[in-house]
Amino acid sequence: MWKFEEIKRANGNLTEGPVWDGTGLIFTDGRSNRLLRYDPSTNQTDIFFNHTEGPNGLNFNSKGELFGCEQKGRKIVKYEGTGKKIVVDKLNGKRLSAPNDLAIDNNENIWFSDQIGNVDSKPSLSFSCVVKAEKKSDGEYEAKRMTYDCSSPNGLIFTKDYSRLYVAQSDFNGNQRRQLRSYELDENSNLISHQVLHDFGPHRGIDGMTLAKDPISKEIYIVAATGWEISGPKGNITIFDKNGKIIERHETPCERPTNCTIVGNKIYVTSIEGHLLVAETELEGLLLFPTS
């Protein structure tokens, strides 16, 4: 089993969105409305960006530009130095609900989950879905609805060849399915009907996930933050093969892990309780857009 160590406990609780910038790890401190950065060379964690609006998922594109889901602000933003730019905040003329997680494809389009259940005020939209912020020739983005069968989409990640999008269907209220789904993309980058790779039944499913490779077998795995203290397995990191078979589970010292990423052979895990955890693994990180 992996041995997790605590690097940081955020004051505001609810850490999320860990991404590697080439030399350090950027993650969100959602309830304190800021981004933090951990430098492993100094073992220091500092404020990276202030005055966000409930940040959750983060991701880099191939140019090293950092994008984030701001749930309270109900928008996708690009962080630029000490400022930020709104990428999209509406779908079909109505305000987004609560962007949660995002993945960026090889054409610089930003795919994100939008959850109606997380809106503090009355939502404008009447549904949750996966949205694609499609990059246009002028550099601006246009939001398009991509799913009609998700009641509460959460974590998203593309396969290495961008032929499939893994989606965590994760309704934590227990009213809908909690599943790991695989959507095929057609030649126009539209989603085709999904396959259910794993059904979690009544237990908490996946929050966030990443890809990793076994250096010996070269197999690529889905590594996901799963579980909680209420039912089923406790908070853990679950490793799935491409068909959804569970390969391993590693219990975490936090009750509800939220997201994870693997850099080299080290996995970094965030949590509802505000952790940043690290453990050595036998896997290799598979960063789709490594930056330096």
Question: Around 47, how many Cα atoms within 13 Å sit in the side-chain half-sphere?
Answer: 11
Q: Which residue has the tokens 């990276």?
A: 48
Return the ∠ at Cα 112 (arms to 59 and 279), rounded to 5°.
45
Q: Which amino acid is at 256?
A: R
Among the listed residues 42, 38, 10, the one whose alpha carbon sits nearest the alpha carbon of residue 25 = 38
Residue 94 half-sphere exposure, CB side, CA atoms within 13 Å? 13
Quote the pLDDT of residue 13.
81
* Burial of 270 per CB tally in 10 Å (0-12, 13-18, 19+): buried
Q: Collect all residues with Cβ–Cβ distance below 8 Å to 137 and sequence separation of at least 6.
A: none
What per-residue confidence (pLDDT) applies to 171? 80
From CA 178, how far away is CA 176, in angstroms rounded? 7
Query: Taking the model in full, what pTM does it have?
Result: 0.95
pLDDT one digit per residue (tens) for the chain, 292 residues: 899 999 978 766 899 999 999 999 999 999 999 999 999 999 999 999 999 999 999 999 999 999 999 999 999 999 998 899 999 999 999 999 999 999 999 999 999 999 997 777 788 999 999 999 999 999 999 999 999 999 999 999 999 999 999 999 988 666 668 999 999 999 989 999 899 999 998 888 999 999 999 999 999 999 999 999 988 889 999 999 999 999 999 999 999 999 999 999 999 999 999 999 999 999 999 876 544 3
* Cα separation of the two ends of the chain: 31
> Domain 5-285 is of which CATH architecture?
6 Propeller (2.120)
The amino acid at 76? I
Dihedral of CA atoms 275, 239, 99, 52 in degrees, nearest 10, equals 30
Task: Copy the structure tokens of residue 73.
Answer: 């602000």
Rg (alpha carbons) of the chain, rounded to whole number: 17
Which has the closest alpha carbon to 98: 82, 131, 121, 75?
75
* pLDDT in the model for residue 291: 46
Q: Which residues sit opposite 263 in a β-bridge?
A: 266
Residue boundaries of the structural domains of the chain = 5-285
Write down the pLDDT at residue 6.
95
Residue pair 114/99 in contact (Cβ under 8 Å)? The answer is: yes
Helix (H, G, I), strand (E, B) or coil at 180: strand
What is the spatial distance between Cα 291 and Cα 215, in angstroms, rounded to a whole number? 21
